[in-house]
């Protein structure tokens, strides 16, 4: 499970309208018949129009300044293993979203009129998408980049030869290009993976657009708060504030597992991934204590995430911890971006 929470901004300034973001989320509906489209939905309604989403989000920004986020985007990307557990991608992910948003509000250290924030206090709209494209930050693109650079150089040389500004053999360079395309380490359906290429397989994921202000347009609810839980004086009153990201991420996993009966491996848990980044030694020591079948699956999951693996697994735990720490520190940032939950 990979979840991100971001404040929507355009350059250095926060977006003053949700229109562009909503338009972006409508991209998969282009050219589809009405019955084949994925519509926006919220806690209680389906088939909500893009126009209504923009109207509701943009009209719920009372007293927010230009340098404050007007809305946040939550992206929820289940792993391929998690997606295989679903019976109907769209309907199951809608059901999960509605349960997830209960976890979201429960993670706020806020009260409204003396009671905890509830799911009815927030204004959000969500949409299911089924396609993804390779981005420049993806491991496949980064590791294919040296080949792409050389191919671009050869193509430039061919154009220069054709213009007469350079001497050389075009056919030789064309053969080199064909060879490089085949030798690139990451291929999909027999073709070198390049930026912008559609990813194969089930790529279903959830986009959620949520107003910074509560549904009454009176209270600010920011998941971007740096505080987990604290108190502050506002207008002469002591007010609770904060958003517990760890709680939200852990609950998001547990809700998915409970909803769909998913058996989560150690390497898939948010707690384990967080431990990997903060304490690789402890992470691998815990990994080695797993039963043989769970350990094998864990290493398979880790390998697919792009984390650099040890060439041999030491039997001595102290040796393991030292080698893991040295080798895996370099891969920690990659692991977080490619396979964990983050904000």
Q: What is the pLDDT of residues 241-271, one digit of tens each?
A: 689 989 999 999 999 999 999 999 988 898 8
Are 38 and 86 within one domain? yes
- Tokens for 135, please give them: 């981005």
Are 91 and 112 within one domain? yes
Are 186 and 207 within one domain? no
Model-level pTM? 0.79
Are 15 and 40 within one domain? yes
Question: How far is 196 from 20, CA to CA, in rounded Å?
Answer: 20
| 135-171 burial code (b ≥16 CB/10 A, e <16) | eeebbbbeebeebbeebeebeebbeeeeeeeeeeeee
pLDDT over threshold 90, residue 328: no
Assigned domain for 237 exists: yes
Q: What residues contact residue 334 under an 8 Å CB cut-off, 6+ apart?
A: 139, 306, 307
- Tokens for 316, please give them: 């001595």
Domain finish residue from 214, 235, 260: 260
Assigned domain for 219 exists: yes
CATH of the domain at 226: 3.30.930
Q: Which residues are registered as beta bridge partners of 124? A: 210
Q: What residues contact residue 57 under an 8 Å CB cut-off, 6+ apart?
A: 18, 22, 70, 71, 123, 125, 209, 211
pLDDT of residue 331: 47
- Tokens for 101, please give them: 């948003």
Start-end of H helices in the chain = 19-25, 50-58, 80-84, 89-106, 139-163, 170-183, 245-260, 270-278, 280-288, 292-304, 317-328, 332-339
Domain finish residue from 234, 260, 286: 260
Range of the domain at 168: 139-198
Are 109 and 238 within one domain? yes
Q: What share of the chain is helix, strand, coil (3-state, %, to 5)?
A: 45, 15, 40
Return the closest-CA partner of residue 240 out of 116, 124, 121, 118.
116
- Tokens for 126, please give them: 């969500």
Assigned domain for 343 exists: no
Are 50 and 186 within one domain? no
Number of structural domains found in the chain:
3
Q: What residues contact residue 85 under an 8 Å CB cut-off, 6+ apart?
A: 260, 261, 262
Are 15 and 65 within one domain? yes
Are 55 and 146 within one domain? no
Are 204 and 66 within one domain? yes
Assigned domain for 327 exists: yes
Are 178 and 231 within one domain? no
Are 86 and 219 within one domain? yes
Return the closest-CA partner of residue 307 out of 282, 332, 325.
332
Question: How far is 311 from 69, CA to CA, in rounded Å?
Answer: 46
What is the band of 322 on the pLDDT scale with cuts at 50, 70, 90? very low
pLDDT in tens, 30-54: 888 887 888 999 999 999 999 999 9
Percent of the chain whose predicted confidence (pLDDT) is above 90: 52
Assigned domain for 342 exists: no
CA 139 to chain centre: 14
Are 120 and 203 within one domain? yes
What is the band of 294 on the pLDDT scale with cuts at 50, 70, 90? confident
Domain finish residue from 176, 198, 220: 198
């Amino acid at each position: 499970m990979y979840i991100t929470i971001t404040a929507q901004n355009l350059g250095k300034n926060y977006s003053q309208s949700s229109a562009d973001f909503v338009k972006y989320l409508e991209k998969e509906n282009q050219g589809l018949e009405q019955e084949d489209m994925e519509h926006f939905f919220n806690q209680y309604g389906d088939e909500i129009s893009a126009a209504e989403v923009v109207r509701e989000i943009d009209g719920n920004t009372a007293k927010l300044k230009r340098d404050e986020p007007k809305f946040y985007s939550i992206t929820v990307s289940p792993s391929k293993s998690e997606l295989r557990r679903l019976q109907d991608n769209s309907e199951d992910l809608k059901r999960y979203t509605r349960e997830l948003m209960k976890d979201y509000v429960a993670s706020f250290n806020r009260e409204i009129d003396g009671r905890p924030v509830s799911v009815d206090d927030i204004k959000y709209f969500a949409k299911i998408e089924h396609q993804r494209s390779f981005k420049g930050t993806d491991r496949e693109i980064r590791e294919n980049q040296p080949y792409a650079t050389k191919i671009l150089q050869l193509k430039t040389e061919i154009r220069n030869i054709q213009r007469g500004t350079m001497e050389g053999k075009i056919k030789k360079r064309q053969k080199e290009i064909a060879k490089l395309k085949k030798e690139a380490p990451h291929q999909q359906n027999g073709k070198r993976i390049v930026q912008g290429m559609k990813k194969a397989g089930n790529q279903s994921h959830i986009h959620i657009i949520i107003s910074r202000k509560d549904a009454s347009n009176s209270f600010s609810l920011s998941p971007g708060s740096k505080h987990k839980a604290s108190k502050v004086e506002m207008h002469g009153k002591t007010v609770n504030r904060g958003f517990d990201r760890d709680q939200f991420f852990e609950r998001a996993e547990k809700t998915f597992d409970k909803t769909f009966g998913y058996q989560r491996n150690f390497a898939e848990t948010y707690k384990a991934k967080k431990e990997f980044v903060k304490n690789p030694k402890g992470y691998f020591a815990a990994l080695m204590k797993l039963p043989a079948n769970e350990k094998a699956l864990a290493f398979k999951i880790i390998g697919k995430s792009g984390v650099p693996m040890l060439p041999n697994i030491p039997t001595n735990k102290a040796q393991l911890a030292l080698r893991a720490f040295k080798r895996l520190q370099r891969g920690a940032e990659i692991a977080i971006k490619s396979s964990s939950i983050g904000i």
